[in-house]
Amino acid sequence: MTRAKARRPEVVLFDVFETLVRLEPLRERFVAAGRPAHELELFFARTLRDGMAYTLAGEAPRFREVAAAQLMVTSGYQLDRDAADHILDGFAELPLHPDAQPAFDLLADAGVPCYGFTHGSAAILETVLDRHGIRHKLRGVLSAEAIRSFKPPARVYHWACEQAGAEPAATALVAVHSWDTHGAVRAGLLAGLATRLEGGVPGIVERPHVVAERVDEVVAGLLSLDG
């Protein structure tokens, strides 16, 4: 199938975890709770896996509920409630990646609205943005918790487009996860992949419309699309 030539998006959706927000500081909380530092990656991967599985089965619990369950599984049920809450509360204290704010500024200069788009709690990103004093740079934060789903089913991307008031073909998703940009392209959206997490584009995914190392470079590429 030949892909239609892409035009500059009217709206941009940003994935949140690892695209805008750094997960690395959570590692210190694992260690403080007496857990090995490497459990961070396993815990987060299991959280995404099970969230997607619950979505396929019908409805997904809230992100924190899935994360709490997988935190206990990953630790071998060795964490008490206080230690688990200390780790999970850390999501709201995570920092932004350094390429996030420049990406927001590029879109503001171009007059293109942007949203955070997550299967986590909207309050997590809102709290992070408030701490940096830049919440006004996003039009809002869209959480798929509202429809009891994780990404990447097409209906989740279409729901986000509806909330943003734009057609899928005029909406771009920016992410560092190739499975996420794959889902967006399959749902009819534009997609930009920042490769700073995965290092490249896996051969089995739908090719994103823009590929660059940094999130702000991806946004610049999306803004330069002219069809």
Q: Does 112 share its domain with 82?
A: no
| Boundary-marking domain end, from 58, 93, 128 | 93
CA distance 167 to 164: 9
pTM: 0.95
> How does pLDDT run across 84-96, given as a tens digit for each residue?
999 999 999 999 9
Q: What range defines the domain where residue 34 resides?
A: 26-93
Collapsing DSSP to helix, strand or coil, 166 comes out as coil
| Boundary-marking domain end, from 93, 116, 150 | 93
Q: Does 81 share its domain with 170?
A: no
Tell me, yes or no, whether 35 lies in a domain. yes
Q: Are strands 190-194 and 210-212 parallel, antiparallel or unpaired?
A: parallel
Amino acid at residue number 89: D
CA distance 71 to 14: 26
b vs e for 15-25, b when ≥16 Cβ sit within 10 Å of the residue's Cβ?
A: bbbbbbbbeee
> How does pLDDT run across 9-30, given as a tens digit for each residue?
999 999 999 999 999 999 999 9
CATH number at 75 reads 1.10.150
CATH number at 152 reads 3.40.50.1000
